[in-house]
Structure 1
């Protein structure tokens, strides 16, 4: 087996190794709002559950040349954001929001998505998503090597769930109806595919 020391690799090489091996990764499509009211939207695949009590989820936002991205900056300032699950029906529009736009331009307009009001926070969500989570910022953690910050790890407390009626039955979510997609490496994505069940030992 090949053995590799990450400290001997470049940032890009480590990025490629991690994103190529930690697969599939769920995708968080995040809406935030700037101080001047511009709604920002962007996808992130460094995303997962943190806790169920209280319900908390995290996204990790990588900085570019040490500069904080709009999503992280808006969350730090407003303390609110909405996370949406990316699915087969909206993935192409979501991909369009990954373009590098100036902070005063909204990716929502570029991708021709529709906004919908949130119930408990001021940041709107996206109507096209089958599931969305209204979040308030629980904790922001700056990560990096030495004095340089390269990553903003943001943990949000979920204050409201939204889900399409037909996907939810007696507390269970229909994964095949949701049709969530996941991120692989490069420009590749994956669908849910075949599922199987293994009982846990008692």
Structure 2
């Protein structure tokens, strides 16, 4: 079967995208509000796109009732944020942080997450996160006044010591257990992996 994008509804297009583009990495974004409250929210329209400069992009849409999310309000005001990644031990709290929290209640504090100070930006990172990147805005693309595509430039990386071999510059794959987003309330583990030999072209 096939669908012309112009002939299906907004919600149906959303379902066609998220049902098959799987699994998606999750950006757990920390920002700081005007009163100092630290916000943490997950976004699964997210990925890395370049290394020089290091660029990531994630999409922030409005809430169903039209309200603007705290993450965008904070980034628009400060130009700064931290992208934290999550693993299996943090997955449930990451999911809980997607709830509708009012601006005066910070998800990390409410959920019992520890925060660690950043070096180059004001927003802190989630201390337990396996990986985090301090970012500043590189570019923002406004999509129909309904969604912001935030492209962030990485300024500093934080890697949990037990996951990284600094001499080889490689992750300990047997210890790193990232979680991917499927759809709705469904996530996936990534510990069932396939290894292929190096690809070769025609002789």
TM-score range, shorter chain: over 0.9
**Residue number in structure 1 paired with 2:176:** 178
Q: CA deviation at 1:120?
A: 1.3
Q: CA deviation at 1:176?
A: 3.1
SS of residue in 2 equivalent to 1:178: coil
Measure, in 2, the Cα distance between the counterparts of 1:131 and 1:35: 26
Report the aligned-residue RMSD. Answer: 1.4
Runs of 4+ in 1 over 4 A off after TM superposition: none
Tell me which of 154, 158, 161 is aligned to 1:162: 158
Q: CA deviation at 1:198?
A: 4.4
Q: Normalising by structure 1, report the TM-score.
A: 0.92
**Residue number in structure 2 paired with 1:96:** 96
Measure, in 2, the Cα distance between the counterparts of 1:199 and 1:93: 38
Measure, in 2, the Cα distance between the counterparts of 1:178 and 1:68: 34
- Note if 1:44 corresponds to 2:40: no
Q: Deviations over 1:21-64 (max 9, x none)?
A: 10010011110011221111100101111210011111111112
SS of residue in 2 equivalent to 1:24: coil
Quick check: 1:35–1:78 contact (8 Å CA) kept in 2? no
Q: Normalising by structure 2, report the TM-score.
A: 0.92
Q: Deviations over 1:104-158 (max 9, x none)?
A: 21111221111110111111111111111111111111012xxxx1211001111
Measure, in 2, the Cα distance between the counterparts of 1:83 and 1:109: 18
**Residue number in structure 2 paired with 1:128:** 128
Name stretches of at least 5 consecutive residues in structure 1 with no aligned partner. Answer: none
Measure, in 2, the Cα distance between the counterparts of 1:103 and 1:42: 12
> Number of paired residues?
197
Q: Deviations over 1:64-98 (max 9, x none)?
A: 25442111121111111111111101000111111
Measure, in 2, the Cα distance between the counterparts of 1:124 and 1:177: 25
SS of residue in 2 equivalent to 1:93: helix
Name stretches of at least 5 consecutive residues in structure 2 with no aligned partner. Answer: none
Measure, in 2, the Cα distance between the counterparts of 1:119 and 1:201: 43
